[in-house]
Amino acid sequence: MTHQYFHGSIEVVCGPMFSGKTEELIRRVKRAQIAKQRVQIFKPAIDVRYDVEDVVSHSSQAIKSEPVESAVDILIRLKDSTRVVAIDEVQFFDENIITVVTKLAARGYRVICAGLDLDFRAQPFGPMPTLLALADEVMKIHAICTVCGAPATRSQRLSSVKERVLLGETDAYEARCRGHYQHDENEEQALLPLDEEIKPLSQLSN
């Protein structure tokens, strides 16, 4: 893997819940620290599932972070000596995160973003599509489907709450493969025949 340390770069790690995005972010941060590069780690203040300040993975790996209310706070909090900016749960930020991340890369920072590519409805999550398109390097990783053990690309919400943001853990979400992901508990989405009529993307959401 090559990183453009001297020109700035944008790396995006994406995938469903439990796919190891936070572990991968922590791994990259630790390696940058071994290289004696000053790292600042940010997360949206909304994500306080395990800890108000730390970025914590589902396997309990943790690293100190700075929770911020909005994307522009990242620019405000930036220290002179920082070379690498890591942002976890980047999908929760407002659209300004795109400008912030682009600016950081243009100023020579290595920016590492980790976030959900899809929401629980399996629709692209907030700023993620744009971040993925602008990135120099993209890593899309899989979790393990809790039903069949296949690679999982989706996050199945187990409750019927309809809000997009519902923070929770194993009791609220499960990783699922395409075949075992269901849009709605009343809908046998998973069993649609492969030769179904091709619909425009805008109609695929329901």
Give me the active site residues, please. Answer: 89
Among 9, 19, 22, 155, binds Mg ion (CB under 5 A): 22
Residue 91 sits in the site that holds ligand ADP (CB under 6 A): no
Report the SS3 class of residue 97: helix
**In this complex, which beta carbon is closest to Mg ion, that of residue 8 or of residue 128?**
128
Residue 65 sits in the site that holds ligand ADP (CB under 6 A): no
Among 12, 18, 65, 98, binds ligand ADP (CB under 6 A): 18
Instruction: Give the shortest CB-197-to-ligand ADP separation in angstroms.
Output: 32
DSSP E strand stretches across the chain:
9-15, 39-44, 54-56, 62-64, 66-68, 84-87, 110-116, 137-140, 143-144, 151-152, 154-157, 173-176
Instruction: Give the shortest CB-97-to-Mg ion separation in angstroms.
Output: 16
For 203, counting Cβ atoms within 10 Å of its Cβ (0-12 exposed, 13-18 middle, 19+ buried), the class is: exposed
User: Which of 19, 40, 28, 201 has the alpha carbon at shortest distance from 116?
Assistant: 19
Q: How many chain residues touch ligand ADP (CB under 6 A)?
A: 15
Among 8, 9, 10, 22, binds ligand ADP (CB under 6 A): 22
